[in-house]
């Protein structure tokens, strides 16, 4: 399990086989997962996860606000890789908001951006 969706991110440790996880996002062959038993969130390669059920998730839309373009990043950290920039007024799909970061999709690219620069709803 890692802090971001790539082997270059720091390791958060290994999960035991058959550990129950909740998939909360999907990024280029990686799943963002929550491990309820450990109160931990991170990323793992999708090939190591067997999906046993699916739940429809609620999404909402957000509009980029502010005076500058908003960066979509690979993880919920200002030091993570910048995937793209979104102009003011761009409409994004928002999957979740945690600790001031939104998990978003903009024109088919999934990433994270600061919730402070999105008008959600």
Q: 7-46 pLDDT, tens per residue? A: 988 999 999 988 888 887 777 788 888 888 888 888 899 8
Domain at 1-55, CATH class: mainly beta
Give the C-alpha separation, 67 to 98, whole Å: 23
State residue 54's pLDDT score.
Answer: 63
Please state, in angstroms and as integers, the Cα–Cα distance from residue 59 to each residue in 24, 68, 97, following that order. Answer: 12, 25, 11
CB atoms within 10 A of CB 89: 8
Report residue 101 as tokens.
Answer: 């970061």
CATH of 60-120, one of 1.10.10.10, 2.102.10.10, 2.120.10.30, 2.30.30.40: 2.30.30.40
According to CATH, where is 2.30.30.40 located in the chain? 1-55, 60-120
Contact, 113 vs 75, CB < 8 A? no
State residue 82's pLDDT score.
Answer: 92
Q: Quick one: which of 52, 59, 66, 65 has its CA closest to 110? A: 59
Q: Using 50, 70 and 90 to split pLDDT, how confident is the model at 4?
A: confident
Whole-structure pTM over 0.85, yes or no?
no
State residue 23's pLDDT score.
Answer: 83
Q: Radius of gyration over alpha carbons of the chain, in Å?
A: 15
Element (H, E) at 32: strand 30-35
State the average pLDDT for the chain: 85
Q: Using 50, 70 and 90 to split pLDDT, how confident is the model at 1?
A: very high
State residue 45's pLDDT score.
Answer: 92
């Amino acid at each position: 399990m890692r802090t971001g969706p790539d082997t270059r991110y720091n390791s958060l440790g290994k999960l035991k086989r058959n550990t129950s996880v909740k998939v909360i996002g999907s990024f280029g062959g990686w799943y963002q997962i929550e491990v309820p038993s450990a109160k931990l969130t991170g990323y793992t390669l999708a090939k190591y996860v067997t999906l046993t059920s699916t739940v429809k998730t609620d999404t909402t839309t957000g509009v980029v606000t502010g005076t500058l373009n908003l960066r979509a990043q690979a993880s919920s950290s200002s030091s993570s890789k910048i995937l793209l920039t979104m102009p003011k007024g761009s409409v994004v799909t928002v999957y979740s908001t945690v600790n001031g970061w939104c998990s978003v999709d903009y024109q088919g690219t999934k990433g994270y951006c600061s919730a402070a620069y999105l008008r959600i709803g």
